[in-house]
Amino acid sequence: MTAAQIIRRKRDGETLPPTEIRSLFEGYAAGSVEEYQMSAFLMAVCFRGLDRTELDALVEVMIASGAVADLTHVPGVKVDKHSTGGVGDKVSIVLAPLVASLGVPVPMMSGRGLGHTGGTLDKLETIPGFRTDLSLGEFAAQVEHIGCALIGQTDEIAPLDRRLYALRDVTATVESVPLIAASIMSKKLAEGVGALLLDVKVGAGAFIPDHAAARELARTMISIGSARGCHVVALLTAMDRPLGFAIGNALEVEECVLTLRGEGPADLRDLVLEQAAEMLVLGGAAADVDAARVAAATALDDGRAMAKMGAVIRAQGGNDAVLEDPAILPQAPVRHVVEAAMDGTVTRMDVRAIGEAAVSLGAGRATLGAAIDPAVGFHVTVKPGAVVARGEPLATVYAGSVEAAATAASRLASAIVIGEAAEALPLPLVLERVTG
């Protein structure tokens, strides 16, 4: 069976046997299936989906494309967290050191920007010197000694996902329940964790905006994990507005530093604490989420999470002075304030458009392997329901040029919709908890 025949069969809605899934993806990994053929197949999956047998075959090929990390020498339940992706979702950078500071090992493997959303790796790499390309050996040693490592996929761990992720980013093939589930679960299972918290976003800025479909995504990932001995819990969380204020790589790291200092936006802090509580229970460090939330808030407030982040940054070659002085992060030369054009209420935010405007500004990639501008992005300081007066600042654009700032500002002004009254109540920060 040629690649074109397999693509055609999926395009026409057939179910492929595991052998064909394996042959296509192994061929892609080996270089005999081309990028354009894989792009076409991924698009067919976006329309036709994958059934459970096909999905399991894909997960297995993706895990087998690299090594599986052995963290058995690290005592305790190793717990990671992964988000399905959101605009301004910077939780991991605060969460990982926080949970590790309470004794639960966090081996965290993250991704780059995807579609209209940012990626933890791109954000971390704005810290001068910070290496995300640790080898598997360095990763395991760091988790053992510091309790936390924040890395990207190397050639060793699920390298097939790394290639597919980059390809999906620039071919509009992210929005698929099986592709997202396989991508996330293959790298998490290869990472050697015992438990996993999933943050599945819901709302206009999510890849799968619909609540019921997001629940299906959560359940799919939970069952992939359970079938392979990984305890998975999912929180469905709000993405009908950006999380926090900052959108853009260095700007988001700065907001994380503020949050570690107790000065960050309330929604970011609250979501970090909710997720930390779940991870502490999964890691056996707390009996219930209420006790865990209190422990997490204490470790955030008394500087333990900040100290752990400093240790992680130093261990990964970064300049930990960023925690004292975030101004050492890349700075954009141009700032442009976006003002409300009329009196009214922020009735709705087109979160996807806001994320896309950030990508166009240079915070994300339009083509495979393109460079990003670490300094650019937005501070969006209003949320749905806010009452604003004409001329009041809604957001600030951080850009590389006056022209780029003006274009982004006009996109932002259209994406923050002002009207008479809110169209719908904002989603609760945490909509639902899904377990096996």
Give me the residues that bind ligand URA (CB under 6 A), please.
84-85, 111, 114, 165, 174, 179-180, 183-184
Token look-up 């329309």 returns 47
Q: Are 104 and 270 in contact (CB under 8 A)?
A: no
Q: How do strand 231-238 and strand 430-434 relate by DSSP bridges?
A: antiparallel
Shortest spacing between CB 115 and ligand URA, in angstroms? 8
Residue 188 or 411 with smaller CB distance to ligand URA: 188
- Say how many C-beta atoms besides its own lie within 10 A of residue 299's C-beta: 23
Residue 41 or 165 with smaller CB distance to ligand URA: 165
Helix (H) or strand (E) run with residue 196 in it: strand 195-202
Shortest spacing between CB 176 and ligand URA, in angstroms? 8
Largest Cα span, the chain: 63
Residue 174 or 260 with smaller CB distance to ligand URA: 174
How far lies 149's CA from each of 106, 109, 159, in Å? 7, 8, 18
Catalytic residue check, 161: yes
Shortest spacing between CB 188 and ligand URA, in angstroms? 9
Shortest spacing between CB 168 and ligand URA, in angstroms? 6
Residue 180 or 277 with smaller CB distance to ligand URA: 180
User: Which residue, judged by CB position, is nearest to ligand URA in the bound state?
Assistant: 183
Distance of CA 182 to the CA centre of its chain: 15
Task: Name the active-site residue from 187, 215, 365, 411.
Answer: 187
Catalytic residue check, 301: no
Catalytic residue check, 168: yes
Task: Name the active-site residue from 183, 219, 348, 365.
Answer: 183
Shortest spacing between CB 373 and ligand URA, in angstroms? 22
Residue 146 or 179 with smaller CB distance to ligand URA: 179
Shortest spacing between CB 83 and ligand URA, in angstroms? 7
Dist. CA 114–CA 30, nearest whole Å: 24
Dist. CA 130–CA 152, nearest whole Å: 12
Residue 45 or 273 with smaller CB distance to ligand URA: 45
Task: Name the active-site residue from 56, 80, 122, 161.
Answer: 161
Task: Name the active-site residue from 116, 168, 304, 411.
Answer: 168
Q: How do strand 393-399 and strand 430-434 relate by DSSP bridges?
A: unpaired
DSSP at 117: B
Phi first, then psi, for residue 115 (nearest 5°) are: 55, -130
How far lies 418's CA from each of 33, 176, 215, in Å? 48, 31, 30
Phi first, then psi, for residue 143 (nearest 5°) are: -60, -40
Which residue type occupies 116?
H
Residue 86 tokens, joined: 């959101």
What amino acid positions are annotated as catalytic residues? Answer: 82, 161, 168, 183, 187
